[in-house]
Amino acid sequence: MGERKRIPLGIFAVIFFVICSSSLHLLRASDDADDAIFYESFDEDFDDRWIVSDKDEYNGIWKHSKSEGHEDYGLLVSEKARKYAVVKELDEPVILKDESVVLQFETRLQNGLECGGAYLKYLRPQEAGWKPKEFDNDSPYSIMFGPDKCGATNKVHFIFKHKNPKSGEYVEHHLKFPPSVPSDKLSHVYTAILKPDNELQILIDGEQKKKANFLSSEDFEPSLIPPKTIPDPEDKKPEDWDEREKIPDPSAVKPDDWDEDAPLEILDEETVKPEGWLDDEPEEIDDPEATKPEDWDDEEDGEWEAPKITNPNCETAPGCGEWKRPMKKNPAYKGKWHAPLIKNPAYKGIWKPQDIPNPDYFELKKPDFEPIAAIGIEIWTMQDGILFDNILIAKDDKIAASYRETTWKPKFTIEKEKQKEEEKDTESSGLASIHKKVFDLLYKIADIPFLSAYKFKIHDLIEKGETQPNLTVGILVAVVVIVLTIFLRIVFGGKKKPARVEKTNTPAAETSTNQDSGENEENKEEETSKAPRRRVKRDN
């Protein structure tokens, strides 16, 4: 047998390091898996794990479907204007006391969200009075969390139900000023972190959008802890209680010269009718160019009347029609007299009932949350295409953050890049559309009769602008300058009277003129025949 080759010690070290690193990674992943109290990826069909409500009103069809543009599956709202209800029982109830709990899930509003919900309900144990097959809006929950949008409502709900230790009734406490729902069609991940120090954090896509305290009256409505005192419902305002801080002076008397009937405005007697005012000219006259339509029937349509236009005679005059003096403010106007106000000697301030101890008051060091025994989706929505995915309950945000990085972020990055490309395409097509409209307008301008002598030159400029986009702005400016120049020539130059030429009976001159004109006509014909063909009308 041949001699065995000795393996260098360095290779053993590398192999040992790789094995150790892999083991540590697996151990770490195992730890993370232990931290994930519940996780649903919807990689496989949900039928054997989630229970759809049998209630007749929940007729929306849930589907196991891919997220658009991905191979990743989710739970899909497949029909518009339907109610949906589906529930998943947990292996063990989640206790929301003494340690952090993180609630996280992804939604993608693939067709937007105009009116509807996309939130989750974290349900109490069935002993509270509900059954999976009968899951509905009345099924008791501990927490409701997620997007809701309709009309003026646009928020990421966080609502918790808490048992009042005094009355024994469950009260809904709503987060004040919650964050709004992202207004795009991308995948978003919603995270609620409940901490043992009574702090609540709401994250959207891993970014904190709201921080609140469960015991603060500033953060929840109604407040979890009632006020210590309340207004006495039996206390009544005394009949002689005067709340008027000021009263009219009883000793004041209206002055003798105070005229309450004087009008606010009077005619301005100092004005005179402007010179040149056309009293006999109406402000409007019948349009002389209007004609009665051929299909006008006096019996059915009534007597035809020409439409009115502004009287051209009034445009240069100071005014037309009956002249009337304008009104001016009346210097004698004082209005109704009122006695001046003085301090009320009997004033006692604004009355309010006395405070008494609140019989419903109680103290809490932390909320007494009900445990979570199931996760339900019970929504009404006018949109389809809502996709739920990667529902997670964890012990802290580290495991939630790792899931965001591995399950949500890659999808979001792809969708964001695709959105940017679509926006570029939309912007490009929009610019192309505007570009076409601008040049269509320029061709129409070139067809205006008073520009006929310059039509071919303008067409040349326009065609250069179409074929050479880098010259477009310059071409537009050039066309505008040409049009304005020609227009100004016509307006200011067209008013000059032609010079008078006296006729002379000189045959030779007439002959010469006739010959010249004949030659000119021939030259014009030659120039016309030699001129290149111009595009008179733009091809569509």
Q: Structure tokens of 241?
A: 């209680």
Cβ atoms of 476 and 464 closer than 8 Å: no
Residue 266 counted as domain residue? no
Domain hosting 457: range is: 432-486
Q: How many CB atoms lie within 10 A of CB 106?
A: 26
Residues 101 and 165 in one domain: yes
pLDDT of residue 440: 76
Torsion of CA 239, 245, 251, 252, to 10 degrees: -130
Cβ atoms of 113 and 132 closer than 8 Å: no
CA-to-CA separations, 186 to 55, 344, 406, in angstroms, rounded: 31, 65, 16
CA 413 distance to own-chain centroid: 24
Strands 284-286 and 207-213: unpaired
pLDDT of residue 493: 53
Total domains, the chain: 2
Residues 155 and 51 in one domain: yes
Name all contacts of 124-127 with Cβ < 8 Å and 24+ positions apart: 124/370, 124/371, 124/372, 124/373, 125/93, 125/370, 125/371, 125/373, 126/373, 126/374
Residues 178 and 109 in one domain: yes
Residue 304 counted as domain residue? no
Residue 31 counted as domain residue? no
Residues 99 and 174 in one domain: yes
CA-to-CA separations, 123 to 42, 140, 142, 395, in angstroms, rounded: 20, 6, 6, 18
Residues 381 and 445 in one domain: no
Residue 14 counted as domain residue? no
CA 88 distance to own-chain centroid: 35
Residues 109 and 171 in one domain: yes
Residues 101 and 167 in one domain: yes
Alpha-carbon gap, residue 216 to 9, rounded angstroms: 64
Cβ atoms of 376 and 135 closer than 8 Å: yes
Q: Low-confidence residues of the chain, pLDDT below 50? A: 1-33, 494-540
The dihedrals phi and psi of 519, each to the nearest 5 degrees, come to -65, -40
CATH of the domain at 179: 2.60.120.200
Residue 13 counted as domain residue? no
Classify residue 22 as exposed, middle or buried by CB count within 10 Å of its CB (0-12, 13-18, 19+): exposed
Residues 449 and 372 in one domain: no
Residues 374 and 402 in one domain: yes
Residues 377 and 478 in one domain: no
Alpha-carbon gap, residue 383 to 113, rounded angstroms: 6
Residue 186 counted as domain residue? yes
Residue 522 counted as domain residue? no
Residues 379 and 465 in one domain: no
pLDDT of residue 468: 67
Residue 533 counted as domain residue? no
Residues 43 and 78 in one domain: yes
pLDDT digits (tens, 9 = 90+) for 392-444: 999 999 999 999 999 999 999 999 999 998 888 776 666 666 767 777 777 77
Alpha-carbon gap, residue 194 to 399, rounded angstroms: 14
pLDDT of residue 319: 92
Interacting residues of 366 by C-beta distance below 8 A, sequence separation 6+: 97, 196, 198, 214, 215
pLDDT of residue 361: 93
Beta strands in 110-206 (DSSP E): 115-117, 120-123, 141-150, 153-163, 170-175, 187-194, 199-204
Residues in the chain: 540
